[in-house]
Structure 1
Amino acid sequence: MAEKAAELQQVQGELVRTRARVVAKDAQIAFLQQDLAALQDSFAEFEAHRRLQRRLQDQQARSQVLEQQNADLRRRLAAAERAGALATAGLAVAGAATATTVAPAVVESVGLQHKVVLCVGGRTGSLASYRDVVERVGGQFAHHDGGLEDSHNVLDASLAAADLVICQTGCISHNAYWKVKDFCKRTGKQCVFVENPSVSSLARGLETISITIANATPAGRSDGAVETGIQVTAGAT
């Protein structure tokens, strides 16, 4: 009987120990499962971050390509604008040189050499082209924006210093227009009014002044406006 009791006690002890090992294994499995879940979450975040990095790199590469294309287009546009301005100026000067009422090379030889040509108004971005047209025919370029930013007092001084005036009426103030008109009327200063503030209009204005000077009286003053499709005044109303 005692032997049976001892055997039963041994079995019960082994059962307790086995249960303890099972509980420990279950706890270890639970911890491992938590670690696995954390690793899976981290891996998902890593994959998402890597995808974002790839998208960012793709966008940066595309942006660089677009910037290069944009810079190339800007260079081509600037070259085309320069070529267009030079071609327009060349045609205008050539037309003035071959006019039937003016001797060859009249733009260069009649009245414009070393003259101060004041351009009132015009587009700010075209000032370099305006200057090029004036200097190509031997004149000295001066500019006043027509009262948009420059002072009207400065306009008085600019008019007084100029030998010839080209007034681009489409982009000057009302007061500046009448100031130019009144000044040229009082002083008899050669002046051409053009509506379109373009390089070609400026070149035609120079051509008009040259023709007017070529047809001037011996006293050196024209008899009035010249009918060329551009409003011209030389002391006229």
Structure 2
Amino acid sequence: MNALLRDNAQLRRQLHTALAENEAQRAEKSRETARLGERVTELRAELAGHEAAAAKLAGQLHTLQQSLPDLRERQILARRATDAEARANALSARLAEQESAAEHWRRRYLSAQKQLALAPEQIPGLPAADDEATALTGKCILCIGTHSSATEAYRGIVEGRGGRFLQQHAEQLENPKDIAAALSSADLVICQADSISRQDCRRLHAQCRQSDTPCIFLQKPGPAGFGRIVSAAFAPGERITLR
């Protein structure tokens, strides 16, 4: 019986402890619930303030729109003015390019006029007949290597016959892709062999064979030899072979 009484007393103490812990947790939950309620009230007040501010701004926008009935038209006109200014800038840049090109051709025309005043035999590479003068129409001549003293003369020979002249330095053709890109629009390749390495010559020669582009190696630079090669390359009935 004494053992039962002791067990009963111990259980009563445990029950009182559990009840006290439960009461403490209930009080904590009540305080947390109260805090959450207060926070919800604060958030609702903030939301109401934001809604009031939004309504005020909407009213101000409406008032502004009413005071400026042509606001949309003004915005459209402003965008059109911006577009027109951009087009004007583009046209100005294009005009500058055309003026530069016109000046370039004016200088070439004056140079041609001076050359025409010379005897025909004094003009390097000048064709002797009108059929040669138009033989390069629509043709593109690619010159590999550079000699600053002869390049402009080469250009004058080609463009004077209606063709297009391109100049490439050997250093620009470091790999087959670069060579293929250079050859893509060329009808004839003239390589100034003394201004590029043997390795570059072999690489260029192989790529020309692959693309079936006529290629001539010019051993000694000079307008006279260049003009003869170009004339022979596009003479009626002639076909230049790779060599």
What's the TM-score bracket when you normalise by the shorter of the two chains?
A: 0.3 to 0.5
Q: Scaled by the length of structure 2, what TM-score is found?
A: 0.44
Return the TM-score normalized by structure 1.
0.45
Going by fraction, where is helix more abundant, 1 or 2?
A: 2
